[in-house]
Amino acid sequence: MELKKIYLSDLSAAWDKFQQSHLLFPFYRSHGQARSEFLAAVKRGNGYWIQRKSHWLLVDKIDEGDTWRINNLLISTDLGWRTAFLWLENAARQKFKRVLVLNLEANLILQQWLTAQGYRLVENVWRKELVYHTGLVLGGGGARGAYQIGVWKALLEKDIQFEVITGTSVGGLNGALIAQGDYNQALALWEEIETDKVLDITFKEVEELDFSAQVDQLRTFIRTSLQQRGVSSEPLRRLLEERLEAQKIHAGCPFYVVTTKVPVFQEIVVPIHKCPEEEIIDWLLASSAFFPMMAMAKIKGELYVDGGYRNNLPVDIALQTPITELIVVDVHGPGFDKKYRLPDETAELVLASPWSLGDLLLFQSDRSSENIDLGYLETKRAFGELQGDRYFFSRHADFEAITKAFFRYLQNKLAVDMRALYPELQKFFRQSVPIEMLSLAFLEFFAYWVNVSPVKVFTPEEFIETILKQFEMPVKLNAVFSVQEQIEDFIENHNVFSDYYRVLQIYQLKGSPETAYRRWPIPTLLALFFRYIRNEEIT
């Protein structure tokens, strides 16, 4: 649940419900006036909403650095006002805003309630300083864990401190680096990391790590692990001995890792901040012993394997500490994710990339660097500092203007029924896509199919130029990408039944596009959009 920008097409699709919404607080004299003013705010780009099931909260908000200035709040008829107010504060906490300002006149009863909630009347507005008690949860995921270091970089820029850190497997290793507070050490470790620096395994040297070399490495890995009942992680121990400082970990915030005791298969939670110095690395290795690919860890005569077998994303452990917000970084590792109940008053920010982060057990420094960049940019976007869905653009990139220009281009070429188009959009893209942001969705569709790298902040002009260039000269995935990714890319690019191939077929059609539009409205618009960005005329 998060605060998202709302567009006129969103309101249009739920107009009857919008007309029934009413004021949460007396920002205006009447509900009707508040609805009219909210429509004006949406046109100015200041309209936002939170939707959960059939409930919604509409917010007229202006960003002023670390402050949100709230000028209007509307709620659906069946949403309680206390819940709505909690949603607003949680949304601010998700973005780590420092101040909430309510621009309203309050009667005596409301004044007393606002005062009890921590608001103060300052220069005719109600102002609240938000106090943060933040927990960080780092999931397991092997070589994909570099993403978490990129997330940390973005959190450092906002000076976010933690009251508790929990981690499993590689999340435990990264948690130790974060707990000791040395970003440069963490960055250096991941930028130089390779599989043979983590595990006691030797790959035959090749001049270039191409697809076949990667397959050979995986075969070698599997064969060695079967022969040795798990590959030894002694190289990782030496790496951690070089990078970790027990004194800093002991002086940091509470930090817990999860491992699994065998043969009883019992979850063991270890408070690393309280461990004797000589045991810290032992427990970190126990948490990340991904048996049978990696050897079991032995501590005081007991055997342990990867904590992911019991709790790969240890949110429940973090919630045992009184916190007001929780940052969860999931790198899609295998294992068991426990269900948990988030307290209503706790905000949650979940960071999990829509992109594949590579192989689980093949560590490559180049791929780690890309994943660090991806984690950094996706966190910045989560804070509202960038826009985009899979790719990244500045907040000021005007895709609404590009969409309007495209529809002007279409005016005399195709009759488009916007009302009918809205549900088709959601179905095609499997997510909410406002009509106004159609150009962004279309551009990202083409960029994904021609393998545009996401680890860059683009301008719309740069993005279009890159797409067209790679359409003419396709970019093949290199050895930085996993075997699975290269196989999937091969299948997708040779699948004549895919959406992409349908768009290309329509693009190549001669004559009027009306017949194709009636059957495949969104693919037809994509084909016409591609002609538009290539400055082609429809014959």
The residues that bridge with 68 in the sheet, in sequence order, are: 63, 100
Token pair 């949406």: residue: 42
| pLDDT, position 223 | 64
| pLDDT, position 216 | 66
Q: How far apart are CA 408 and CA 132, in angstroms?
A: 47
With a pLDDT cut of 90, the percent of the chain lying above it is 69
- Bridge-based pairing state of the strands 457-458 and 47-52: unpaired
Question: What's the average model confidence in pLDDT over 28-39?
Answer: 96
Sign for the pseudo-dihedral over CA of 309, 310, 315, 321: negative
Selected residue with higher pLDDT from 316 and 473: 316
* CB-based contact 243:173 (threshold 8 Å): no
Selected residue with higher pLDDT from 496 and 107: 107
| pLDDT, position 538 | 40
Residue 293 banded pLDDT, cuts 50, 70, 90: confident
| pLDDT, position 196 | 72
Backbone angles phi, psi at 386, to 5 degrees: -135, 165
Nearest 10 degrees: Cα torsion 396, 397, 401, 406: -170
Q: Is the pLDDT of residue 281 over 60?
A: yes
Question: What's the average model confidence in pLDDT over 172-188?
Answer: 94
Q: How far apart are CA 255 and CA 175, in angstroms?
A: 7
Selected residue with higher pLDDT from 193 and 153: 153
Q: Is the pLDDT of residue 34 over 60?
A: yes
Question: What's the average model confidence in pLDDT over 338-353?
Answer: 95
Token pair 């290309």: residue: 504
Residue 307 banded pLDDT, cuts 50, 70, 90: very high
Residue 178 banded pLDDT, cuts 50, 70, 90: very high
Q: Is the pLDDT of residue 539 over 50?
A: no
Return mean pLDDT, the chain: 89
Residues 6+ apart with CB under 8 A from 339: none
Question: What's the average model confidence in pLDDT over 439-463?
Answer: 95
pLDDT in tens, 87-125: 999 999 999 999 999 999 899 999 999 999 999 999 999
Instruction: Please state which of the ranges 81-90, 164-173, 467-476 shows the lowest mean pLDDT.
Output: 467-476
Q: How far apart are CA 244 and CA 177, in angstroms?
A: 7
Q: In the structure encoding, which two tokens stand for residue 394, read together?
A: 């500045």
The residues that bridge with 129 in the sheet, in sequence order, are: 99
Question: What's the average model confidence in pLDDT over 6-14?
Answer: 92
Of 16, 311, 291, 321, nearest to 172 by C-alpha is: 311
Q: Is the pLDDT of residue 128 over 70?
A: yes
- Bridge-based pairing state of the strands 392-394 and 347-351: unpaired
Residue 89 CB: number of other CB atoms within 10 A?
A: 19
| pLDDT, position 77 | 87
Positions marked active-site = 169, 306
The residues that bridge with 271 in the sheet, in sequence order, are: 256
Q: Is the pLDDT of residue 500 over 90?
A: no
* CB-based contact 35:22 (threshold 8 Å): no
Q: What Å distances lie between residue 478 and 353, 359, 475, 485, 492, CA to CA? A: 20, 14, 9, 10, 16
Residues 6+ apart with CB under 8 A from 24: 57, 73, 74, 75, 81, 84, 85
Residue 206 banded pLDDT, cuts 50, 70, 90: very low
* CB-based contact 309:336 (threshold 8 Å): yes
| pLDDT, position 214 | 62
Q: How far apart are CA 87 and CA 183, in angstroms?
A: 33
pLDDT in tens, 372-407: 999 999 999 999 999 999 999 999 999 999 999 999
Q: Is the pLDDT of residue 364 over 90?
A: no
Q: Is the pLDDT of residue 172 over 70?
A: yes
| pLDDT, position 361 | 80
Q: Which amino acid is at 259?
A: T
> CA-based angle 303:305:311, to the nearest 5?
130
Instruction: Please state which of the ranges 191-200, 217-226, 257-266 shows the lowest mean pLDDT.
Output: 217-226
Q: Is the pLDDT of residue 513 over 80?
A: yes
SS (H, E, C) 258-299: EEEEECCCEEEEEEHHHCCHHHHHHHHHHHCCCCCCECCEEE
Residues 6+ apart with CB under 8 A from 77: 20, 21, 22
Residue 535 banded pLDDT, cuts 50, 70, 90: confident
Q: In the structure encoding, which two tokens stand for residue 477, read together?
A: 């995935």
* CB-based contact 418:9 (threshold 8 Å): yes
Q: Is the pLDDT of residue 202 over 70?
A: no
Alpha helices in 127-169 (DSSP H): 146-157
Q: Is the pLDDT of residue 415 over 90?
A: no
pLDDT in tens, 241-255: 989 999 999 999 999
